[in-house]
Structure 1
C-alpha cells in the first residue's frame, strides 16, 4: 500500500527539505503540503492520509483545536509533531493532548527514518530521551496533568499574566501592592508547578493551552 503523508508547516524551506528527505527514505510515498491550519483541515476533507507531520506554530487556527478535530473526525490518521521546541519540556505534553509522536526539527536523517518507520509500523514515536523522561516522571509521580495551568492559584495566575506582559518583579510588586519578596515566591511556585525555567517557556505553555490573558 502506498503511504500518504501530509506535511503541515508554514515555512516553505522546511516543507521542501523534509519532503525531499522523506522521498529519499521512502521513494514510493505520496506527499502533500499545507502552510496553515485552515488549509490543513480543508485538505483532510478532500483526501485521505496515513500520517500528518505537523508543526505547532502556523497561522489561521490554533494547534490544540486542530489536533482535537483531527482526532475526532479522522481517528485513523497518525500525527507526528515536528517542532523546534524543547523536546524534554514539550513532547510529553503534546502526547497527552493526543499526538502520536514527537520529532525535533534538528533530528538527523537517521532519526527521521526511525520516526517514520515507527509511525507507520507501530503508530507512535518518541525518542529515547523522552522515554527516559516519562519513566522518571512516572517513578516520581510527577506526570503533567492534561492542563497544568489549572493547578495555579488566582494570585499565581496574576503573576504569570504580568510576567508574560514583560513586567519586572518590582513593577509587579507595585502593581499588585505586595512585597517584592512575595512576588518572587509566587514566581518560583508557578514556575515549579509548570516545570518551566524562563518566561519564554512560560509564554509557550500558555500559548500551547490557548490561555487568553486579559
Structure 2
C-alpha cells in the first residue's frame, strides 16, 4: 500500500456535482496526502474563482457539470494558474475522451470505475510527478505521437 505523502500543505480543489464523489475523494486524498487542505465545489462556474482565491495547486475535476463542460474550463484554469495540476476524475470512457482532456491541458485522467488502488496511485502520482496516466492513456498518447511523426 502507498505510504502517506509527507510535505508542506498541498491545496486541493475537488470539483464534482455529486457530493458523495467529493466526500469519497476527500477521504482518499486525506489518507494519501495527510497534510492537505481541500476545497470543494459542485459548480463548474466556481472553479476558476476558487483556484485564484485559495492558491489551489491540484484540482480534481469531473468532466461534465450541469452548468458546463470541463473541456472549456481547463484552459481557463491554466490561465489563472499556469502550474496547476489537473486530474480529470470521470465516468466517461477513457479510450474515447482522454486525449481531448490532455489537449485541453489536463495533467491526468482517471476513471470513476477504477479500483481504489488506482485512484490512490493517481493522487500520489499527481503530487509526486505532476501527472497521472493509466497504461491505456499512455498507449493512446503514444499512438497519437506516432501518427503525427
TM-score range for the pair, normalised by the shorter chain length: 0.7 to 0.9
Bigger proportion of residues as strand: 2
1:158-173 counterparts in 2 under 5 A? none
Give 5+ residue unaligned stretches, structure 1: 144-214
Aligned position for 2:57? 50
From 66, 87, 111, the equivalent of 1:59 is 66
CA distance in 2, matches of 1:64, 1:112: 21
User: TM-score if structure 1 supplies the norm length?
Assistant: 0.62
Aligned length: 142
SS across alignment from 1:33: strand
Higher helix fraction (1 or 2): 1
Please list the CA deviations of residues 97-142 of structure 1 after superposition, one character each: whole Å capped at 9, or x if unmatched: 1111101111222112211121112211100111122223433x17
Deviations 1:71-115, CA, capped at 9 Å, x for gaps:
112112111101101111111221011111101111222112211
Cα distance in 2 for partners of 1:75, 1:51 equals: 11
CA distances 1:141-194 after superposition (whole Å, capped 9, x unpaired): 179xxxxxxxxxxxxxxxxxxxxxxxxxxxxxxxxxxxxxxxxxxxxxxxxxxx
Higher relative contact order (CA 8 A, sep 6+): 2
2:31 maps to 24
TM-score, reference length from structure 2: 0.86
Q: CA 1:107 to 1:76, structure 2 compared with 1: closer, same or farther past 3 Å?
A: same
